[in-house]
């Protein structure tokens, strides 16, 4: 067994892997690309941090690779699609650096409140500027935490020790978990309006990139202070600089930026910004813990086949995964559909399997549904392997049942998301040699493809609604690819599929707003569904069979 370690790891982590009899560990950081390509040619596993880019070229060179282990949380430097296609498990170390990042968040909170950086700079220039550097206490202030995953929860625990009032925004955190943390859950607008400090702990996704822009800062309480130790893409940096200069934002503590190292130093040089070079996770303790955790996960996988902290691949045989792929697609898309339709926060996911699908193991199908439910908030870090763990950490309950009651379909999945303020319910199936289809939404029968960008319209069952919807979309240049209508005594639901060539960007806020004003329309929601899951790649021996 050969393991290539391409970036720096603690000596203890290298020693743990090297101690396994018969294993060879090639640990050299900073080697030329050509040397790394040659080294992985006969390697069984590759260990990296953030410096090494694990792209298609590197994965292709590793013909024997079974695993890529990322010593850290983010896997932006790993081509997950290519790794999945090749049957390579990608592991990371989620949570190993949570305490370090939470502590750095508070270091920045205190620094921007007490003029620590400015005071230190003045002292080093032999200037005593006591009167000019009056600060503010954290005690009694409102801290708004945007994103209450592992790190956000660690921040909340520390904020209580500072006697801060804590509000949080996380659509996927149940109320009872927030209550245990001492956090009042509110929507993002309400958080911005009341918070004296806002700290960001979100992944970078289509929904979160540029979340804090000029319009968002204008809705914030004047004099707010902003902390970001998550992802630079969350903030429109020019808008933040403008807000600081106008006084709308009193100051900021930033550890991450859109472009690193910096190309534009405007924010970092601002006297009201405390900036650090992406070091929130850079503590001796965190680096040691990350190294040991990734080494242990890799050892357990290579030696015993135990998969922990994988982000891209389930622990099943390629044949089983290939058989289940259509229903994993169905489950993930049903989960994603309802996650974008349901009220928040969701506290329970109910699953029911009908017919042939309920006769075998459904563990992976349930994980696929949870992946669809969680991924809009947690990005690509959610997978079949870790979806249940992430759901459990957020207090999201999964209830699975099976039914032998005859239905119109031989294999049917029913998914219901429960929230404190309501629920949404969808059922779907996969026809033989076909694609996932929605067959019921909130009790109304409808037959629609579950793919691409959908506009879900609830309306009164009256003449003229469909025509007006088509006219509005046409006037905005939105081409309809598919249209399905379902009706019952309570009303109707329309599912509009947008032409793939246009993509979801064609459906702007103005389009949705006009649709909502149409006669007879009760609700309009935009849904973006994930792409089809690729089947597992068979080994050469399996291909031969």
- Residue 294's H or E segment, with its range, is helix 284-304
**CA 529 to the chain's CA centroid:** 14
Residue tagged active-site, from 104, 225, 231, 424: 231
Chain centroid to CA 230: 12
Instruction: From 319, 377, 269, 259, select the one nearest 537 (Cα to Cα).
Output: 319
Contact residues for 378 (Cβ-Cβ < 8 A; gap 6+): 149, 172, 203, 390
Distances (CA, A) of 353 to 209, 366, 424: 36, 10, 17
Sheet containing 67-70: which strands, arranged edge to edge? Answer: 24-27, 2-5, 45-48, 67-70, 89-91
Task: Clarify whether 231 is annotated catalytic.
Answer: yes
Residue in 114, 278, 418, 537 annotated catalytic: 278
> What are the tokens at 333?
């898309």
For this structure, is 260 an active site residue? Answer: yes
**Cβ neighbours, 10 Å, residue 462:** 10
Question: In 3D, which of 20, 23, 72 has the Cα closest to residue 51?
Answer: 72
Which of these is catalytic: 129, 260, 319, 531?
260
CA 162/CA 144 separation, integer angstroms: 14
E strand or H helix at 467, and its extent? helix 465-475
Rg (CA), the chain: 25
Q: Which of 192, 200, 169 is nearest to 248 (CA)?
A: 192
Indicate which residues carry an active-site annotation.
Answer: 231, 260, 278
């Amino acid at each position: 067994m050969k393991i290539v370690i391409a970036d720096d790891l603690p000596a203890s982590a290298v020693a743990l892997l090297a101690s396994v009899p018969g294993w060879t560990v090639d640990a050299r950081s900073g080697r030329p690309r050509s040397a790394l390509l040659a080294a992985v040619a006969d390697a069984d596993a590759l260990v990296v941090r953030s410096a090494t880019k694990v792209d298609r070229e590197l994965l292709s060179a590793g013909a024997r690779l079974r695993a890529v282990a990322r010593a850290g949380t983010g896997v932006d430097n790993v081509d997950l699609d290519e790794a999945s296609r090749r049957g390579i498990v990608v592991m990371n170390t989620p949570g190993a650096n949570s305490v370090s990042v939470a502590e750095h968040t508070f270091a920045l909170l205190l620094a921007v409140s007490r003029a620590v950086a400015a005071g230190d700079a003045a002292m080093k220039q032999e200037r005593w500027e006591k009167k000019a550097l009056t600060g503010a206490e954290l005690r009694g202030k409102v801290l708004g935490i945007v994103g209450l995953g592992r790190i956000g929860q660690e921040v909340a625990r520390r904020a209580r020790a500072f006697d801060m009032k804590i509000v949080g925004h996380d659509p996927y955190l149940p109320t009872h978990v927030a209550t245990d943390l001492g956090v009042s859950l509110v929507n993002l607008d309400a958080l911005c309006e009341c918070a004296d400090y806002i700290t960001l702990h979100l992944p970078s996704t289509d929904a979160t990139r540029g979340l804090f822009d000029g319009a968002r800062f204008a809705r914030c309480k004047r004099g707010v202070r902003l902390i970001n130790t998550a992802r630079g893409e969350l903030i429109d940096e020019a808008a933040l600089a403008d807000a600081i200069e106008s006084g709308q934002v009193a100051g900021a503590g930033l550890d991450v930026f859109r472009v690193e190292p910096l190309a534009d130093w405007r924010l970092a040089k601002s006297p009201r910004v405390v900036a650090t070079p992406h070091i929130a996770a850079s503590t001796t303790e965190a680096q040691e813990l990350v190294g040991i955790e990734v080494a242990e996960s890799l050892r357990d996988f290579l030696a015993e086949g135990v998969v922990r902290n994988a982000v891209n691949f389930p622990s099943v045989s390629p044949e089983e995964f290939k058989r289940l792929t259509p229903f994993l697609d169905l489950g993930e898309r049903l989960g994603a559909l309802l996650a974008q339709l349901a009220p928040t926060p969701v506290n329970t996911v109910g699953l029911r399997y009908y017919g042939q699908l309920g006769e075998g193991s459904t563990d992976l199908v349930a994980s696929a549904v949870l992946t669809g439910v969680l991924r809009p908030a947690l990005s690509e870090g959610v997978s079949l392997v870790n979806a249940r763990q992430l759901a459990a950490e957020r207090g999201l309950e999964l209830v699975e049942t099976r039914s032998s009651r005859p239905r119109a379909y031989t294999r049917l999945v029913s998914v219901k998301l429960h929230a404190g303020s309501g629920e949404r319910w969808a059922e779907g199936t996969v026809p033989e040699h076909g694609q996932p289809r929605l067959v019921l939404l909130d009790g109304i029968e409808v037959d629609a493809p579950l793919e691409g960008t959908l506009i879900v319209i609830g309306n009164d069952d009256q003449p003229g609604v469909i025509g007006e919807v088509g006219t509005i979309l046409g006037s905005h240049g939105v081409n309809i690819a598919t249209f399905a209508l379902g009706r019952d005594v309570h009303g109707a639901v329309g599912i509009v599929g947008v032409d793939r060539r246009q993509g979801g960007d064609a459906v702007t806020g103005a389009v949705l707003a006009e649709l909502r004003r149409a006669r007879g329309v009760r609700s309009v929601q935009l849904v973006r569904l994930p792409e089809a899951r690729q089947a597992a790649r068979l080994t050469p021996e399996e291909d031969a069979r």
